[in-house]
Structure 1
Amino acid sequence: MAPTPLLNRLTDSSALSLGVLGVGNIGMVHLKSAAAMPGVEVVAAADAVPENRERAERVGASRTYDDYATLLDSEDLDAAVVALPPFLHAEAVERAAEAGVDVFVEKPLARSTEEADELLETAREAEIAVGVDHTLRYQPDMAGVKAAYDEGSVGHVPYASITRLNDGPLGRPPVENAPPSWPLDSDAVGGGSLLELGVHCFDVLEWLFGELRVRDASMGRTLEIDVEDAATVLMEAPEAGTTITLHCGSYQWEQLPEVNTRLRLEGVTGTISNQEHLPQNFYAGAAKSALSNVASRLTRDEPDVFGPSFYLQAHYDALADFCEAIREGEQPPIDGADGRRTLALAERAYELAAETDEAADEIDGLETPEVTL
């Protein structure tokens, strides 16, 4: 039987039934966000880890499964959040397409543009919508930068820079538990910091400046791991006439509530910085929320999904926009095409970095001619 067309799948009076596939760290954020949304019912959650399923039940999932495919086969859903490791995204979207279920996919959308193309073709054939969780543009500081830039407050912007750093999958020492293996497996994730953090930056930069072109790139490893934990990319935005540098890395110990993203636009009449557009009393509010979450963990209560609210509220807003688009039969505001573009930019950066490394190896391999006098 063909899937029900998107426009006819919901009625105005019905709640949107949602499943969450994967309820680890970010999946739990999505589950808590959905549970707090009007007009959304969290029907079920799936995770292979028993402790994650128990947490999901405590915070609002009506039923839990140890396998996402079983959930999709067993439940009548309107939409599903795909918060699984990247190597499972394409397969999960395929299973959702078979069930006629729209999907909100964690970034990166896939491990490569080739995999993304197959995923999106599957979705098109099944007439399901694909949204992608690129949340950086939902943060108020980024929205403030865009508003100031769009109104021309600093005139033409010849140069811009963005930096995004965190402590990555290894975490801040002392580490109590071993990290999962898949974030450090290039086959499982497709790449390192550039796919984990850089795709967010690519998305917000295209949101600001339009189409980007990658001109040069370099990758680095501060640790002996299988994926890069640092990446620097040089780009241009032809429509805006702006040169941009991007640096991202998973080598820096995070200091919450410190903001881990820096965006600066150097205009001809001044500078726009995201630091200037943080919410009023941000640091005091986020610190209070972080302390509350620590206390919640000590008493075995569930931490506040919105604390520190600056970051997690952005995830709530992104998912809420997706759910509203599905309810109204509209295209998600950040869709599969957006997710694919960030992958294409990352792939080009990887290609250029590899070419630079090969050229450097050739130079190193040349024999220095002997000079005699």
Structure 2
Amino acid sequence: MAPAFLNRLTDSSALSLGVLGVGNIGMVHLKSAVAMPDVEVVAAADAVPENRQRTERAGVPRTYDDYAALLDAEDLDAAVVALPPFLHAEAVERAAEAGVDVFVEKPLARSTEEADELLETARQADISVGVDHTLRYQPDMVGVKEAYDGGSVGHVPFASITRLNDHPLGRPPADEAPPGWPLDPDAAGGGSLVELGVHCFDVLEWLFGDLEIRDAATGKTIETDVEDAATVLMEAPETGTTITLHCGTYQWEQLPEVNTRLRLEGVTGTISNEDHMPENFYAGAAKSALSNVASRLTSDEPAVFGPTFYLQAHYDALADFCEAVREDERPPVDGAVGRRTLELTERAYELAAADADADGVADDEDADPGTPEVTL
């Protein structure tokens, strides 16, 4: 790794990259980029001093406490926007002013309206927008698509996908207050549908083409301002497939070992992403977990990035974007894809709200039937 890193410092053809926001996912993107042989991470920005210190320990030469200051000061080819969703549009606008292509963490924006404004800003500045929809880069999902496209199970009348993750509050009991924005619908754009559902919508349209949402429901397992569970019923007209989606950000006692399950019920067989998991997945995950626990106990830096199952997908998504920038091509997962997942999310919210309103009316009628009219 060291020789490759030294080569980047003297290679004028290396892509000059800045990272805006180096919290959890931002650090994954940063360490992914540092590991790339043809990318030079020249600077990173974060308002939290501890995050900037981690960035410096990762070998990034310059850090800033404000992403706008970084964009003003640095000569970049591209930037990773790993800020909270309510800052995405503003960050892209500042990057556009600097003529810098952007790789934006999902969701692209908080709404389709905001996404349209963001993309128009990018279009006018002639900058590229990529979106970090990484589910399609996971090897198990690639295996499902290859099997499906190869016709191994014939027509697929039904499919299901479940994606789960831990809640911002962490394991119970919550002993530390999380950042405020994930639990603020105005800041995040929503709850589990925005956090996890957009990934599912992306991979499902990657498989089956355009989706039509038929029904949806959202719920809360704990009292917060955003949903932590959502279920969506869809149809893919192109393939005649009915699909159910469930996503949840739960306050787990124990996290699931595999957080995404995809199953295609074909007329001649079934395709499951579990059939395409690496043989060493569980052993590798356990080894990484033990290594990170040991690092924390010894005050060393946990291995945030490694070419492991989930993190490799983030690496590949960012590498694809960087290659598109280098070749002056459209990113393979671009802003239009990010906007489309928001469009589906908004439709699901609309149907869930309509169903909730209808249920509320029905409950009121049941609770108070009123005085019946009597005709003599």
In structure 1, distance between residues paired with 2:71 and 2:343:
30
In structure 2, distance between residues paired with 1:305 and 1:188:
26
2:105 maps to amino acid: E
1:17 maps to amino acid: S
- Check if 1:313 corresponds to 2:312: yes
In structure 2, distance between residues paired with 1:322 and 1:176:
38
Alignment partner of 1:250: what SS? strand
Within a 5 Å distance, the mapping from 1:166-315 to structure 2 comes to 166-253=165-252, 255=254, 258-307=257-306, 309-315=308-314
Deviations 1:148-199 (A, max 9, x none): 1000111100000000111121111354421111100011011000000000
1:266 maps to amino acid: E
Deviations 1:287-326 (A, max 9, x none): 1122112112222222223458111111111111111110
Unpaired segments ≥5 residues, structure 1:
1-11
The number of aligned residues is 361
Answer yes or no: is the 8 Å Cα contact 2:21–2:83 preserved in 1. Answer: yes
1:158 maps to amino acid: P
In structure 1, distance between residues paired with 2:235 and 2:130:
26
Deviations 1:33-65 (A, max 9, x none): 101101100010000000000001100211000
In structure 1, distance between residues paired with 2:36 and 2:300:
21
Shift of 1:256: 5.8
Structure-1 residue corresponding to 2:135: 136
Answer yes or no: is the 8 Å Cα contact 1:33–1:305 preserved in 2. Answer: no
Structure-2 residue corresponding to 1:52: 51
Answer yes or no: is the 8 Å Cα contact 1:167–1:254 preserved in 2. Answer: no
Alignment partner of 1:178: what SS? coil
- Check if 1:368 corresponds to 2:358: no
Structure 2-normalised TM-score? 0.93
RMSD across aligned positions (CA)? 1.6
Structure-1 residue corresponding to 2:156: 157
Pair 69,280 (structure 1): closer, same or farther in 2 beyond 3 Å: same
Answer yes or no: is the 8 Å Cα contact 1:59–1:302 preserved in 2. Answer: no
Structure-1 residue corresponding to 2:325: 326
In structure 2, distance between residues paired with 1:308 and 1:131:
21
In structure 2, distance between residues paired with 1:370 and 1:151:
64
Structure 1-normalised TM-score? 0.94
Alignment partner of 2:242: what SS? strand
Shift of 1:357: 1.0
Identity of aligned residues (%): 82
Shift of 1:369: 6.1
2:257 maps to amino acid: E
Structure-2 residue corresponding to 1:98: 97
Alignment partner of 2:221: what SS? coil
Structure-1 residue corresponding to 2:117: 118
Greater shift in the superposed pair: 12-21 or 252-261: 252-261
In structure 1, distance between residues paired with 2:79 and 2:322:
10
Deviations 1:241-265 (A, max 9, x none): 1000000010152746711011000
Unpaired segments ≥5 residues, structure 2:
1-10
Deviations 1:118-165 (A, max 9, x none): 000000000000000000011111111111100011110000000011
Structure-1 residue corresponding to 2:60: 61
Answer yes or no: is the 8 Å Cα contact 2:166–2:255 preserved in 1. Answer: no
1:246 maps to amino acid: L
Structure-2 residue corresponding to 1:80: 79
Structure-2 residue corresponding to 1:339: 338
Shift of 1:363: 1.4
Structure-2 residue corresponding to 1:6: none
1:244 maps to amino acid: I
Alignment partner of 1:218: what SS? strand
In structure 1, distance between residues paired with 2:171 and 2:307:
18
Alignment partner of 1:247: what SS? strand
Structure-2 residue corresponding to 1:42: 41
1:129 maps to amino acid: S
Answer yes or no: is the 8 Å Cα contact 2:99–2:125 preserved in 1. Answer: yes
Structure-2 residue corresponding to 1:26: 25
Pair 162,329 (structure 1): closer, same or farther in 2 beyond 3 Å: same
Answer yes or no: is the 8 Å Cα contact 2:169–2:176 preserved in 1. Answer: no
In structure 2, distance between residues paired with 1:299 and 1:335:
41
